[in-house]
Chains A and B, each alone.
Chain A
């Protein structure tokens, strides 16, 4: 794969990973479908979840883009690495941070807010920082308008991948497979996710040019 393409592939893969992860949204969509006994309730939940996820990602994209405007690329990488390692260590200690105050009967706005908080607590956006920094526009100085276009494209591609995978998984589980699969297929990735965060922080630092 050419070096210009890997960040885009990584964005899609990370999106797919968030789409498959029950804790990030599809399970909520299925629960609402079962409660209402309606597949429309499943499908209707997907977009609010995706919007919340996108919002969480965009926060990081904006932070990285603005930082890239004022400090040299090396320091952006250093900062991203520090944040990733710190957050990864935190997740080792408290792997199960989930937002409080939510119930199953949230409306679309509540679902968006839940998804935003859940994605942020998970570090979904942070994980994108090293990938963004692999994009050509961030590697050397570009104006904010040049960066913005690619930043929006990057975040949207990621969320599109998530939405697609989440949609397929939730409909297949709701229509065919049933929730018994949770007991067999919901793997504990908490520990792994912490190490991935820390490792990608380290990689970000040591690949700094």
Chain B
């Protein structure tokens, strides 16, 4: 594998504090997919240099060699965790993007080094290799770990439980196998991340492929059978340590954002909806003595609506659920961003006290009923969804599609996809004045920034 000849890869930073001083990104990578599965999904390069003439526009694109992959999340081969003292490999290069197809279970590996604007497909991990070696399918989240590439998967090859985590060798891209040695009671999977300073991994729960691929199933939802727990693991020993149940009414416990500072043992997780009142919520988990606990810290209520304005799935409820689908935490652990995909709201909270968040900013874009416009657009559909934050915390990148089969249920008229850049004010607050707003043919999903961003890297030094 490619290594630097002299110094460590200059995009690696020992601590989140040092990473926040990194140069400002000029390129962003974004995956897009075709919900009709007729044209290949793509890895798109965006020019995000405000001084450039093509600011905010697509300047490169590489197509998948197949159709119907459903690109979703993706991640780097190595990142700042390569500097961790117990498994250091500082001279590997951050140059490969691993892009899973959430439907096809393939993982494509693109090399961005020869031409950062036009990445090149160099390797494909087929679904069969993941099934044979790890017993999993539907790869979702990718995190570059200290000793390998970690990938979460929604289920087994039959689309049932268990979902879990598997590891890919960062030298050879071979699937090494299932990560869990003892999974305890854990069955459902979705996101995962860690507190490297506490040798602790956290996993969250959505549903199995069979529970989500045909769309959200109202029977499963009303029975409270989508995920409602998080799991705490011993990271090096690969063993389940603790299960925390948020309660059956808190359905779909998704994005995990642990504090970036490895000396802190708390983090935030978003819950899509509460069966009682369709509200969404943010919870803070924290270490208390030797066990983890969790506390609800933010409630985002549903908004009453005329049933005529609602899709069939929601008519009976006479309300729009906020549907918090993604959250993101700045590298200084100070600001938390929250996407409410249903109501079309993007929120900013001051979480310097993680138990007492203060709402500091909000903008509306799209939304099931509101259809709010950007200053440079007409009415929008879809809503703020995947959010990526720059390392200096000054810019948030947003896209508006969730997941093909769920997009159709909540936005039956179809989603006209966009990506936008929103500026964060230094003392809190959001601004749509600068930035960009760009529309795309295919549905837009996760964005990652050149050199790293607020969800790509983890750190071993405080």
Q: Shortest beta-carbon distance, A15 to chain B, in Å?
A: 20
User: Do A37 and B462 touch across chains, with their CB atoms under 8 A apart?
Assistant: yes
B interface bracket (residues with beta carbon within 8 Å of A): 35 or more
Chain A residue at minimum C-beta to C-beta distance from B90:
A186
For window 106-164 of chain A, which residues contact chain B by CB distance below 8 Å? 106, 114
A38 to B198: give the CA distance in the assembly, Å. Answer: 16
Does A31 lie at the interface of the complex (its beta carbon under 8 Å from any beta carbon of B)?
yes
Whether B223 sits at the interface, judged by CB under 8 Å, is no
Bound complex: CA of A22 vs CA of B7, how far in Å? 13
User: Provided the pairs A31-B461, A34-B461, A114-B86 are in contact, do residues A100 and B147 lie with their beta carbons within 8 angstroms?
Assistant: yes
Q: CB of B358 within 8 A of chain A?
A: no
Which residues in window 55-108 of B have CB below 8 A to A? 83-92
Q: How far is the CA of A98 from the CA of B84 in the complex (A)?
A: 12
Contact B262 A35 (CB under 8 A): yes
Contact of A96 among B8, B14, B171, B236 (CB under 8 A): B171
Across the interface, which residues of A come within 8 angstroms of B237, CB to CB? 101
> Which one of B5, B7, B88, B171 contacts A27 once the chains associate, using CB atoms below 8 Å?
B88
The secondary structure that dominates the B interface is: loop
Please give, as numbers and ranges, the residues of chain B lying within 8 Å of A179 by CB-CB distance.
Answer: 14-15, 18, 461
Contacts between the two chains (Cβ within 8 Å), count: 95
Q: How far is the CB of A62 from chain B (nearest CB, A)?
A: 27
Residues in B neighbouring A37, C-beta threshold 8 A: 263, 462
As a 0/1 sequence over residues 35 to 67 of chain A, the CB contacts with chain B under 8 angstroms (1 = contact) are: 101000000000000000000000000000000
* Residues of B close to A186: CB separation below 8 A: 7-8, 90-91
B235 A27 Cβ-Cβ under 8 A: no
Which chain B residues border A182 with CB–CB below 8 Å?
Answer: 8, 14, 83, 90
Complex interface: chain A residues within 8 A of B236 (CB):
101-103
Chain A residues with Cβ below 8 Å from B91 are 186, 188, 190
Number of interface residues of A (CB under 8 A): 32
* CB contact list, A154-195 vs B, under 8 A: 179-180, 182-188, 190
Are A105 and B8 touching (Cβ within 8 A)? no
B302 to chain A, nearest CB (A): 42
CB closest chain-B residue, reference A182: B14
Q: Is the CB of B14 within 8 A of A104?
A: no
- Distance in Å: Cβ of B98 to nearest Cβ of chain A: 19
* Nearest chain A CB to B352 CB, angstrom units: 19
Cβ–Cβ contact A98 & B18, under 8 A: no
Shortest Cβ gap from B458 to chain A (Å)? 12
Q: Which residues of B contact A102 (CB under 8 A)?
A: 86-87, 236
Task: Assess the A104–B10 pair: CB atoms within 8 A.
Answer: no
Query: When chains A and B are docked, how far (Å) is the Cα of A182 from the Cα of B90?
Result: 9
B3 partner, pick from A35, A180, A190, beta carbons under 8 A: A190
The answer to whether A187 and B6 touch across the interface, beta carbons within 8 angstroms, is yes
Decide if A103 touches B199 in the complex (CB within 8 Å): yes
Give complex CA distance A98, B88 in Å: 8
Query: Are the C-beta atoms of B461 and A188 separated by less than 8 Å?
Result: no
* Selected A-B contacts with CB under 8 Å, 24 pairs: A30-B461, A31-B84, A31-B460, A31-B461, A34-B461, A34-B462, A37-B263, A95-B3, A96-B92, A96-B171, A98-B86, A98-B89, A99-B87, A103-B235, A103-B236, A104-B86, A104-B196, A104-B197, A105-B198, A179-B15, A182-B8, A182-B14, A185-B7, A186-B90
Shortest 9 CB-CB distances between A and B: which pairs? Answer: A103-B199, A103-B236, A28-B85, A179-B14, A188-B91, A27-B85, A102-B86, A34-B462, A96-B89
| New A-B contacts (14) at CB < 8 Å, excluding given A37-B263, A190-B91 | A22-B85, A22-B90, A30-B461, A31-B461, A96-B171, A98-B86, A99-B86, A101-B236, A104-B197, A104-B262, A105-B197, A105-B199, A183-B8, A184-B7
Q: Which residues of B contact A (CB under 8 A)?
A: 3-8, 10, 12-15, 18, 83-92, 147, 171, 196-199, 235-237, 262-263, 460-462
